[in-house]
Amino acid sequence: MNTIDDDKIIELFWERSEDAIRETEAKYGRYLTSVAANILTDEQDRRECISDALLAVWNAIPPAKPPALKLYLAKITRNLAISRWRRLSAEKRRGGQIAAVFDELAELPDEKDTAQEVADSMALAQALSSFLHSSGRIQRAVFIKRYWLFMPIKDIARSTGLSESNVKVMLHRLRSELRKFLLKEGFEL
């Protein structure tokens, strides 16, 4: 099946053509399913999350014109999956992959809601970006796969060619280095 390029898909959204949804699903459906699957264990929850993500994109474009459609879709899907997981977690008290990731990051600052805390979160995001850019390519990829995409350790190992033990050790060291980096940058942990 031939898929069209992202610019054409975005153009379809701007034209309010239902083909935009169809083409987005054809091109990125499997990818979005994997993003949601790293967070949500139930297949129905994943399908609803992806449906909600496509609706959110439909409502956002226009006026938004994302420079990287795949990343834009992944971010929306990830955020919706986390919200759904939190709601389900509160309702059912179930864990899973995302609970393990949140436990690993427990010593780092949380996202905040007040204006000052939002500014602090932006500064934290900039510091995290600097930290990741100073890390090696493999370390950066492992960190992002675990803490952005919520990939299981075994999947990270398989995708990078590292052993699961190496991935665990690398993540532990990265968290430790990140903690030191953030303290040096003036963040209170």
Question: What does the domain layout of the chain look like in residue ranges?
Answer: 6-94, 101-184
What is the CATH code for 101-184?
1.10.10.10
**What is the 8-class DSSP label of residue 95?**
-
CA distance 142 to 148: 10
What's at 167, amino acid-wise?
A: V
Whole-model pTM?
A: 0.65
What's domain 6-94's architecture? Orthogonal Bundle (1.10)
Please report the pLDDT score of residue 2 as a whole number. Answer: 63
Q: For residues 145 and 151, is the Cβ–Cβ distance under 8 A?
A: yes
Question: Consecutive 10-residue runs of the chain (189 residues): their mean pLDDT?
Answer: 84 94 95 92 93 93 89 91 82 57 58 53 81 93 90 93 96 93 84
